[in-house]
Structure 1
């Protein structure tokens, strides 16, 4: 897999991974009857809701749900990938409301960054820590078309200026150009904090480590989103229609 090397303290290494998987929608062997079967419920502590239990994992992602769930789902996702945005809109609500709330499935999102704008968006969604992470990530996906359009409409002079900058400065520049700083300000992240997060070299390196570790553990990741169930990469599952049967199979 090819990589782009970014200079500076973060030594950013971006995998040129495609957006969107392959394969037919019939992934897995669960029948339609299986998909409609009610899930056994594992009660959350103190009568709570498992979707409100969110923490950062040692691998650098954020996990929602029962940390001891029998089925552990991980998404490798990119905030500049339209297929990841589609999954957030079409699959995440059912995943969270039916599967995570049951306590049978935990859901971890690991940012699989692909470009400077993706890094910018990831830094800002992670800026507030665990509690708001999934909400602001879903909101970022919902606004993806708008900020991608703004970033893609930069005039020639601005593009030339960006090309002359040290590459570790590009995420912050793209964040401002795409309106992402204003986006998170409207969601409770002060501009000073957003700027600090965009300049956080250690957090950039953490994002790089997530990508490098995933590529080492799962060579040939076909694209984003990619899904891992109990440590195994799920083949041909880039949509909820493809993923849900695999989840049901794992729950048997």
Structure 2
């Protein structure tokens, strides 16, 4: 999950947002009904599309890929600073999307969790474009996660201290630059001006992290099928049988 060395400098840089920077608390035991179900028929995507092309923002603040009415709803609570989430994106998403989401049986929803201050600018930037780009940008971030860790390790402590002394609307802008996030997202269609505007919206940042805290997860990735949080390991080897047991077969 999040690397330990980030926490002191990011807590300092985001001091006025301290309430934003923690994981939600709560019991990760399974809740909700039984996930077992009868086999579910495939559902055709809209003409000229695959279901993976259909992404919408949900009332819960997540981003849902696939058939909005899919009878099997998979939710991932993930953090962009989480190395296990990066592993899940690499090892699970290709088969999940091609074999399950594109069948119309299963939808996939990503809900961002804040583990530390690195997650705040990263998630705000991933959400700075159109909703249909958010999941793809998140997967690209996870695939390149190491470069942001390296940037944090290489940056002088004074850079974080200077960021912490800026006006609130400038702090996340400075943090994103320290991590190299602004350039990363600019290469993927989010201009510097657009990125800075998203990062300068302190009220939106506050609302985003409060939403994250409301999920009440204690580890990432946490996976949920039809409202039931899974207690199995968050790996494709463990998840695929759960999807099939829920009816994706």
TM normalised by structure 2 equals 0.82
Higher mean Cα deviation, 185-194 or 151-160? 151-160
Alignment gaps of 5+ in structure 2: 1-10, 29-34
Q: Distance in 2 between matches of 1:214 and 1:119?
A: 16
Change (3 A) 1:197 1:187: same
Q: Which residue of 2 aligns with 1:115?
A: 116
Alignment gaps of 5+ in structure 1: 22-28, 31-37, 216-220
Alignment RMSD (CA, Å):
2.8
Q: Which residue of 1 aligns with 2:237?
A: 241
Q: Distance in 2 between matches of 1:241 and 1:169?
A: 43
Q: Which residue of 1 aligns with 2:223?
A: 227
Q: Distance in 2 between matches of 1:64 and 1:108?
A: 6
Whether 2:22 is the aligned partner of 1:15: answer yes
Higher mean Cα deviation, 132-141 or 103-112? 132-141
Q: Which residue of 1 aligns with 2:192?
A: 191
Q: Distance in 1 between matches of 2:215 and 2:24?
A: 12
TM normalised by structure 1 equals 0.81
Offset at residue 160 of structure 1 (A):
3.1
Q: Which residue of 1 aligns with 2:139?
A: 138
Aligned positions of 1:1-252 closer than 5 A: 12-16=19-23, 40-165=41-166, 169-215=170-216, 221-251=217-247
Q: Distance in 1 between matches of 2:171 and 2:81?
A: 15
Q: Distance in 2 between matches of 1:109 and 1:78?
A: 10
What SS does the aligned partner of 1:15 have?
A: coil
Higher mean Cα deviation, 75-84 or 151-160? 151-160
Q: Distance in 2 between matches of 1:225 and 1:113?
A: 11
What SS does the aligned partner of 1:132 have?
A: helix
User: Quick check: 2:222–2:229 contact (8 Å CA) kept in 1?
Assistant: yes
User: Quick check: 1:54–1:65 contact (8 Å CA) kept in 2?
Assistant: yes
Write out per-residue CA displacement over residues 4-57 of structure 1, whole angstroms, 9 at most, x where no aligned residue: 89665x774222479xx9xxxxxxx99xxxxxxx97421112252111111100
Change (3 A) 1:129 1:87: same
Q: Distance in 2 between matches of 1:166 and 1:236?
A: 44
Change (3 A) 1:74 1:153: same
Structure 1: 4+ residue segments shifted above 3 A: 4-8, 162-170
Offset at residue 150 of structure 1 (A):
0.3
Offset at residue 164 of structure 1 (A):
4.0
Offset at residue 104 of structure 1 (A):
0.3
Q: Distance in 1 between matches of 2:157 and 2:15?
A: 23
Q: Distance in 2 between matches of 1:207 and 1:139?
A: 21
